[in-house]
Chain A
Amino acid sequence: MSFQDRTAEFQACVANTRARMRISSSNAAMSNALQAKHQKSEFTTVAKKIAFKISETSKHLQRLSQLAKRKTLFDDRPVEIQELTYQIKQSLSSLNSDIASLQQIVRQSSKGTRNKPAQINQHNENIVVSLQNSLADTSMNFKDILEVRTQNMKASQNRTEKFVASTSLNTNPLANNNSATSPFNYNESKYEPNDDYLALNLGEGANTRYEQMALLENQTDVYSQQRMSSIESIESTISELGGIFSQLAQMVSEQRETVQRIDLYTDDIASNINSAQREILKFFDRVSSNRALLFKIFGILIAFFLLWVLVT
């Protein structure tokens, strides 16, 4: 990085601001400007603190990712990882609340002083949005790292299983604790993968990893197995529900065909009855008009008879 000597520029800036301060001589403008600066500085100090915390958290996160990526069987440091995870979680939640309060400040300040130019408000809002985005990125990274860690733990456990065939390695609680770190229990901080295991002296200079996992306290066993079984039952219930829904859909689609047939039949009925009604109407007309015809015919016949009688 090349260093530039910008002292002259700095001094010119200072002289400039001093001149500007002298020009704005009215008290009200001065105090207003000072007040605005105070408000702004409150916002900026809070924003600075939040940004600093975010950078610290991301540093911790980097350390955690380093630890989590190690695939060694033997040198895993669960206590440190656990502490880091806990710490990061705490800082994430506190950052969340801090950003929420910062947003409050921005909203209040934008409602309060109308004389602030809209750009400053916009700028503050932009800062808040960018802080939120960086926090969201950090939490996404955190989640990814947790997933990587659980996968690595599973893989290393498989490898240790291959080595130790006879010890009573109970894989269930560990798997359960892995699933416990997944999003299901993400907000309940159940990060206790290793602090419930008692060490078993395997007797032949076994590694710390074995000692951690080899014998599990009965109670934790019961607890984690219970948890796993309840979660499994929820899973099975959900899949049952899925099956029921698909059955329902199938039945309804079968009935759709039936309904279409009924529709056709009713259309037939309607048309038949309509035409029958027309026929009957025609008939009725014919019947009603026949009388008129008969009258006319009889009338003509009577007229002819009368003629015949008159002629003869």
Chain B
Amino acid sequence: MQGTKLEIPLWLAKGLHDSKRRIISVELPKIYKEAWRTVFSADATVVDLHKLGPYYYGFGSQLLNFDNPENPEIAQTLLQTFISRFRHIMDSSQNAYNEDTSVLVARLDELERALFQAGQKGLNDFQCWEKGQASQITASSLVQNYGKRKFPEMDG
């Protein structure tokens, strides 16, 4: 029905979007609009991106698929937000060894969390090497995770 407003998933909106046929028009979620964009440009490091939508960067990038006059500004905001937050993520992930990191990752969106984990893995691998454990052969993760379930029929 023409003129109705609906909420549909992104994949559906992408599929139905067609600049020639004009089946649907997309309204931006509020965090990508003017008001929030100025908040991000003021100070991006204090924003809780996890609460605002755990996929801020990914979803924002997908939004650029729809013809929207504000696209250049959205793209710019995404980039600048990422740049200003990245340094902090890199620092904290490389310096938090064997600690509870839940406070550090609480306000990160999913992309940032993946980066944080990559940093942590690098740190842990390095520490392992420093302790001389890098040459220790370990059981495969399959065995470690399923050690409780015995493999009695495993004869090697």
> Is this pair of chains taken from one and the same complex?
no
